[in-house]
Structure 1
C-alpha cells in the first residue's frame, strides 16, 4: 500500500507536529497520493445522494455522514481500510510520538463526511472515550476531497487555543489538504461559518480517529466523555435550540464535577 502515501513527507510532519502547543498538529497535505484522493473524491460525488444526513442541531447543520465501510464504493473502502491498517498507524506513531495507537473498525463518528450549502460545524472538542473499544481517543486525521474549492465558499477548518480566545491555524478544504491533530479536551476545532457553496456542491472529507488504552491525565478535563462539547467563539452566540443548548452545557458541567470528585476520592 506504499502508493497511498509519500513517506518522504514524514520527517517534516514529525517536526511540525511535535513543535506545536498546547496540543500537537500538522498540516499533512504532502503526505497522501493525490491520484488516490481524486479517485475517492469522484466516487463520493457519484454516491453523495446515498450518504445519510444527520439531524440539524444548534451547532451542526447540513452534515452528511457514512460510517459503514461496507456501504462505501470500492476505492473509498480500500483507502479507509489502509488508513486503519497497522502499516499506516506505524507512520502516525512516528509522526506524533503517540505509541500503541489503534484504529477503529466501527468508524464511530468518522468515515466519509459531507456538508451542504449553509452547513457548518461550530467549534468543539470531540468525544474522548470509545465505549465499545474501551479506549481513549487520541488523534484525528481529516483529509479533504474538494476540487475546485474557492476561499469565498468558507469551510476552512480552524484550530483554536485552549481558552477559545485565539485562532491558531486554519486550512481550506481543497483536494489533498489534510490535518493531523491531537484529540483531547482543549483541542477546539471546527468550520463555524455557514458554507457559501453553489447549490449541489458539498464540502467532502474523510475523518479517521485513533485510540490508545491509556492517556496522560493532564489531557482530561471532562472525564471519559462520549459527547461533543460545542463552544462559542468570542462574540458569538448560538442561535435557536435554546433548551437543547442549556441541557448540553449542564451535562458537560456535571461531567466536570463528577470527574473532579472521582479524582479526589
Structure 2
C-alpha cells in the first residue's frame, strides 16, 4: 500500500486501531489523521473536480450535495487512490482494523466516488441503505476521506454522530484535509452534517468508499431498506412530519420493489 502513511501499516498500530474501533462510541468508528502520504493528499486536494464535473446533484428536503463516480473525468490521482482502496491488501487491512471479515468494494457508484457541497450544502441525519439493491451484498463499512485545506470551524460541515435513539449528538468530526473517518454502517449509525456557510470558491470535499460482505442468509434480503433520514429533536414540527412521512413511504415502495425483483 504505497499511497498510505506508513504509520498506519505498522503491526502494533493496526492492533491499537482494532482495539479503539471496538470500544468507540456512539458506534464503532475511527478518526485517522494524515492517512495518506502528504503528497497524495495535496494532489487530491489540488485536483478535486468542480461541482459541475460531478454527475449527480441532490437538492431536496433532507440533502443538498453533489456526487460523482465518473473517474475517467477526474485527474489520474483519483483512480490511483481508488485502485489502492479496492486492492486485496487494503481489504485485509480493513479486516484487521475492524474485525469484519470478507470485506470488498463494489466496482460502481455504490462502491467509490466523490462528494462535494457548495455554500448551503447539508446532509440530514440518517442511517445508510443496508443492502446493495443490484448486487445483493451487505453494506458494512463507510470509509470517508476528507479533502478540505484551511477549513474553518465557522464553516460548519462536521460529521455529526448521534446516539441510537436520536436524542443526542455525541461526536463531531471536522472534515479537514487528509482525515479519514471509518465507521460501521448499521441500524444505529446515525450521521450527517448541518447546513454549511462557505465563502466564494470554497466547497466541502470528500472521497467515499463503501465496503460490503457477501450475504449468506437470503432472508436478509427481505430486510432491505434505503437510506433512512431522521429529524433532529430541534427540527420544526413540519420538518419532522415531512421527513418521517417521506421516508416511510419511500422505503415501503422500494422494499416492495425489491421483494418483487424489480430493479430501480
TM-score (normalised: structure 2): 0.85
Rounded to whole Å, the distance in 2 between the matches of 1:107 and 1:253 is 23
Partner of 2:204: 203
Partner of 1:55: 58
Rounded to whole Å, the distance in 2 between the matches of 1:109 and 1:3 is 19
- SS of 1:232's equivalent? coil
Aligned structure 1 segments of 4 or more residues deviating by more than 6 angstroms: 238-244, 253-257
1:44 equivalent in alignment to 2:42: no
- SS of 1:147's equivalent? coil
Rounded to whole Å, the distance in 1 between the matches of 2:206 and 2:134 is 25
- SS of 1:130's equivalent? coil
Once the two structures are superposed, the pairs formed by residues 218-257 of structure 1 within 5 Å of their partners are 223-225=223-225, 227-237=226-236, 246-252=245-251
5+ residue gaps, structure 1, are 258-265
TM-score (normalised: structure 1): 0.85
Aligned residues: 252
5+ residue gaps, structure 2, are 257-264
Query: Relative to structure 1, is the Cα distance of residues 215 and 11 closer, same or farther in structure 2, using a 3 angstrom cutoff?
Result: farther
Deviation at 1:80, TM superposition (A): 1.3
Q: Is the 8 Å Cα contact of residues 145 and 181 (structure 2) preserved in structure 1? A: yes
Q: Is the 8 Å Cα contact of residues 58 and 238 (structure 1) preserved in structure 2? A: no
Q: Is the 8 Å Cα contact of residues 158 and 173 (structure 2) preserved in structure 1? A: yes
Once the two structures are superposed, the pairs formed by residues 1-265 of structure 1 within 5 Å of their partners are 1-6=1-6, 7-8=9-10, 9-21=13-25, 23-45=27-49, 47-61=50-64, 63-108=65-110, 110-191=112-193, 193-214=194-215, 223-225=223-225, 227-237=226-236, 246-252=245-251
Deviation at 1:216, TM superposition (A): 9.7
Superposed CA RMSD:
2.9
Deviation at 1:242, TM superposition (A): 7.4
Rounded to whole Å, the distance in 2 between the matches of 1:195 and 1:215 is 41
Partner of 2:260: none
Rounded to whole Å, the distance in 2 between the matches of 1:41 and 1:195 is 19
Moved more, 134-143 or 76-85: 76-85
Query: Relative to structure 1, is the Cα distance of residues 103 and 18 closer, same or farther in structure 2, using a 3 angstrom cutoff?
Result: same
Deviations 1:98-134 (A, max 9, x none): 0000111103174111000011000000111112221
Deviations 1:4-61 (A, max 9, x none): 233134333212111125631111224322221111111115x443123413110101
Deviation at 1:201, TM superposition (A): 0.6
